[in-house]
């Protein structure tokens, strides 16, 4: 069953159960209180009649008692009789005509109830006479009358319980009828309300399901509307975040494919073009300079391809965590000099001056020599690439107790603020920066690899920059005590 009808049904069932339970318990307690009220009324009535019997016995006023008994007969529904039996006058029965007739028919006997308590002298018995239930209250009284003579007798008040019960039943039945109607009305509005409630609740779930299905079907640009601040709204938000993350991954995959194919295509085209050229004519017919040029371009292209494939493999290894970081003493000063030495022709070509600012106390670092050199080479090559002629590049190191912070600063074109983090993502290149590069363009993998290496060392890498003024890339390497020299590692 779908969620909406299920919710409707459940709500209706709940409403019915609550209404039924409330009605039933209301009627039951009402019935209980009515019965108690009835019994208390009967006792009051009995006390009332007993007082009349007292007066009669004291004044020997038989007529007064008869009148009282008849007035009871007329005014009290369910009263069977109200009779006084005068023992002093040979059990003379006094009361109204109807009372005496019914009293004779039942002929009750008043026995003293043993034991104490408020109703010790008030005997009560229930008799079943030819299908009718009678309840009789009785009590013996004795006193010395107005003439000073001892007088005694028994007070009897009886009720026809069938009559009283049927009265009670009529009231209860009427209540049941009212409650039934109430229940029908509550049910009617309950169903309508439950339906709207279920609709209200299931609407966002329906949106969610449709959205999730659309995302599942590959429509990653689906946006699920978030209209509430509750759990469902939270879930919708999570779905939207998931969809946008999937979009990013999808974009990344597309970018990766186009970048890889682009990076592979240009050197391959160059190689195949020049190989064709060399094959089409006998070698002797090609000018030696042209041959040398062709071979140089083929060799550069092969180098570029190898470099690119190595970068991709490095990145894959770093990403999967399968990279081994050696703990070796690395002379930072020496490494800096080596790297700048490597770029010397290019630096001279662009008249870029460089400097090293590495204090003696941190000249030696414990890290993976090759990999840190790879990071530094990358940073210096970027600085060189993005710094116009006449600029400067400076490599510095600072001891920050827990780690060594190394930086490469240039006076180049800078990176816009939204590119500071993005530059470390794979294949990310700032377009304006790429256009600026003369000669071989990069692949956008260098900083991603540097980040992977630094993080594998337990450090952090970031970039600070001011457009048009220059860029500084910082990275940290934890400051570790030098390990015991292991020949195998250092060789
Ligand atoms: N020193 C720098 N000055 C200006 N831009 C930089 C610098 N270093 C990196 N960038 C930007 O970050 C991008 C990513 O760098 P990187 O990952 O090394 O890729 P690549 O050098 O192959 O372009 C560069 O394309 C460039 O836009
Ligand atoms: Mg680079």
Task: Tell me the per-residue pLDDT of 231-257, one tens digit each, with 9 for 90 and over.
Answer: 888 888 888 898 898 888 888 788 778
The finding on whether 430 has its CB within 6 A of some atom of ligand 1 is: yes
Q: How far is the CA of 328 from the centre of ligand 1 (A)?
A: 28
The finding on whether 56 has its CB within 6 A of some atom of ligand 1 is: no
Which residues, including other chains, have CB under 8 Å from residue 191's CB and lie 6 or more apart? 8, 12
* Global pTM value: 0.55
Q: What is the dihedral of CA 442, 443, 444, 446, to 10 degrees?
A: -80
The finding on whether 340 has its CB within 6 A of some atom of ligand 1 is: no
CA 77 centroid distance within chain? 64
* CA dist list (Å): 125 to 42, 112, 118, 137, 490: 13, 12, 17, 7, 114
Query: For residue 430, which ligand has an atom nearest its CA?
Result: 1
Structure confidence at residue 439 (pLDDT): 61
- Compute the distance between CA of residue 2 and CA of residue 180 in angstroms, rounded to an integer: 31
Structure tokens at 198: 């279920």
Q: How far is the CA of 71 from the centre of ligand 2 (A)?
A: 118
The finding on whether 307 has its CB within 6 A of some atom of ligand 1 is: no
Environment class of 356 (CB within 10 Å of its CB; exposed 0-12, middle 13-18, buried 19+):
middle
Secondary structure letter of residue 483 according to DSSP: P
Question: Do 93 and 155 contact (CB within 8 A), yes or no?
Answer: no
- Compute the distance between CA of residue 221 and CA of residue 218 in angstroms, rounded to an integer: 9
Coil, helix or strand for 463? strand
Structure confidence at residue 379 (pLDDT): 96
Q: How far is the CA of 16 from the centre of ligand 1 (A)?
A: 71
Secondary structure letter of residue 417 according to DSSP: G
- Compute the distance between CA of residue 162 and CA of residue 59 in angstroms, rounded to an integer: 36
- Compute the distance between CA of residue 182 and CA of residue 197 in angstroms, rounded to an integer: 21
Q: Which of 255, 352, 395, 433 to mutate to test the pocket of ligand 1 (most atoms within 8 A of CB)?
A: 433
Question: Do 274 and 298 contact (CB within 8 A), yes or no?
Answer: yes
Sites in the chain below the pLDDT cut of 70: 112-130, 431-441, 481-491
The finding on whether 449 has its CB within 6 A of some atom of ligand 1 is: no
The finding on whether 386 has its CB within 6 A of some atom of ligand 1 is: yes
Interval 292-321: pLDDT, tens: 999 999 999 999 899 889 888 888 888 888
Atom of ligand 1 minimally distant from the CA of 387: 3
Of the candidates 23, 181, 3, the residue with the CA atom closest to the CA atom of residue 11: 3
| Atom 5 of ligand 1, residue of closest alpha carbon | 415
The finding on whether 298 has its CB within 6 A of some atom of ligand 1 is: no
Structure confidence at residue 260 (pLDDT): 83
Conformation bin of residue 49: beta by default, left when phi > 0, alpha when psi is -120 to 50? alpha
């Amino acid at each position: 069953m779908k969620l909406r009808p299920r919710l409707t049904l459940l709500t209706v069932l709940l409403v019915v159960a609550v209404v039924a339970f409330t009605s039933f318990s209301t009627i039951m307690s009402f019935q209980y209180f009515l019965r108690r009220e009835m019994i208390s009324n009967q006792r009051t009535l009995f006390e009332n009649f007993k007082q009349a019997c007292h007066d009669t016995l004291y004044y020997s006023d038989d007529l007064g008692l008869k009148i009282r008994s008849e007035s009871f007969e007329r005014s009290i529904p369910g009263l069977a009789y109200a009779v006084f039996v005068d023992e002093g006058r040979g059990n003379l029965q006094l009361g109204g005509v109807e009372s005496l007739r019914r009293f004779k028919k039942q002929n009750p006997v008043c026995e003293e109830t043993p034991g104490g308590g408020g109703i010790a002298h008030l005997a009560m018995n229930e008799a079943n006479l030819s299908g009718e239930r009678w309840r009789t209250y009785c009590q013996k009284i004795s006193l010395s009358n107005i003439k000073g003579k001892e007088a005694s007798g028994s007070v009897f008040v009886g009720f026809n319980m069938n009559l009283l019960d049927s009265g009670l039943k009529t009231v209860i039945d009427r209540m049941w009828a009212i409650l039934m109607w109430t229940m029908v009305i509550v049910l009617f509005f309950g169903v309508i309300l439950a339906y709207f409630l279920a609709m209200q609740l299931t609407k966002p779930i329906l949106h969610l399901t449709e959205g999730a299905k659309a995302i599942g079907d590959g429509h990653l640009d689906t946006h699920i509307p978030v209209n509430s601040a509750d759990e469902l709204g939270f879930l919708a938000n999570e779905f939207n975040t998931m969809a946008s993350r999937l979009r990013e991954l999808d974009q990344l995959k597309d970018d990766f494919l186009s970048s890889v194919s682009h990076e592979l295509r240009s050197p391959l085209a160059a190689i195949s073009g020049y190989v064709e050229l060399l094959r089409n004519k006998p070698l002797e017919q090609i000018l030696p300079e042209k041959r040398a040029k062709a071979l140089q371009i083929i060799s550069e292209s092969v180098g570029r391809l190898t470099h690119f494939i190595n970068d991709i493999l490095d990145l894959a290894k770093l990403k999967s965590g399968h990279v081994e970081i050696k703990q070796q003493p690395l002379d930072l000063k020496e490494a800096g000099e080596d790297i700048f030495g490597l770029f010397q022709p290019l630096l001279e070509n662009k008249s870029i001056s460089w400097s090293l600012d590495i204090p003696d106390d941190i000249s030696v670092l414990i890290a993976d020599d090759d990999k840190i050199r790879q990071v530094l080479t990358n940073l210096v090559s970027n600085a060189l690439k993005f710094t116009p002629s006449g600029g400067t590049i400076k490599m510095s190191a600072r001891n920050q107790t827990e780690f060594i912070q190394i930086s490469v600063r240039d006076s180049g074109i800078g990176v816009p603020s939204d590119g500071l983090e993005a530059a470390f993502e794979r294949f990310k290149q700032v377009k304006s920066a790429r256009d600026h590069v003369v000669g071989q363009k990069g692949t956008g993998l260098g900083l991603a690899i540097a980040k992977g290496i630094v993080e594998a060392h337990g450090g952090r890498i970031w970039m600070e920059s001011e457009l048009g003024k220059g860029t500084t890339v910082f990275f940290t390497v934890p400051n570790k005590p030098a390990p015991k020299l292991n020949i195998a590692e250092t060789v």
